[in-house]
């Protein structure tokens, strides 16, 4: 199947795909801040450059897009019909790199957490996930 866009348009579309400041990442940041958590962004000195880092708790938090990181939800399981072999290899490589980053962080003594794009849809659920994964003690 040929591309529906010409070369210039396809290039513009691909340039618009971001790796930082994505909508799910911004939702997680707002929710974490509302919970009173303070964090650093994109520490490139840590394996995998976590999206949010909570230095006082030694927690590295990644916000993963379901498609790009091969989540097992409906969005992550959907594979493009064209150029299938390329996308399968691309996503498998992303998953392998993610696993290596998480292992490396664990060896350095960091707690690791992943929040998936599909988990950011509901704000109340997202706040609970952040609380649980970052390790905040809730008061009864």
Does 47 fall in a domain?
yes
Query: Do 73 and 120 touch, CB atoms closer than 8 A?
Result: no
Does 30 fall in a domain?
no
pLDDT at 50: 95
This prediction has a pTM of: 0.84
Does 123 fall in a domain?
yes
Does 87 fall in a domain?
yes
Domain limits at 70? 40-134
Which residues, other chains included, contact 39 with Cβ-Cβ below 8 Å and sequence gap of 6+? 29, 32, 52, 53, 54, 61
Mean pLDDT of 39-60: 92
* 89 has a pLDDT exceeding 90: yes
Cα(26)–Cα(19) distance, integer angstroms: 12
Structure confidence at residue 140 as a pLDDT band (50, 70, 90): very low
Here the CATH number for the domain that contains residue 73 is: 3.40.960.10
Between the alpha carbon of residue 100 and those of residues 19, 94, 105, 106, the distances in Å are 19, 10, 9, 10
Q: How many domains does the chain have?
A: 1
């Amino acid at each position: 199947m040929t591309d529906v866009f010409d070369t210039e348009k396809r290039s513009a579309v691909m340039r618009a795909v971001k790796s930082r400041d994505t909508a799910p990442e911004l939702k997680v940041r707002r929710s974490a801040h509302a919970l009173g958590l303070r964090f650093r962004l994109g520490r490139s000195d840590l394996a995998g450059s976590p999206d949010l880092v909570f230095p006082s708790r030694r927690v590295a938090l990644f916000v993963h897009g379901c498609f790009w990181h091969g989540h097992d939800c409906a969005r992550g399981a959907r594979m493009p019909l064209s150029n299938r072999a390329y996308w399968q290899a691309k996503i498998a490589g992303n998953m392998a790199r993610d696993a290596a980053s998480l292992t490396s962080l664990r060896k350095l003594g960091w707690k690791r957490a992943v929040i998936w794009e599909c988990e950011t849809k509901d704000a109340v659920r997202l706040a609970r996930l952040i609380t649980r994964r970052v390790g905040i003690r809730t008061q009864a």
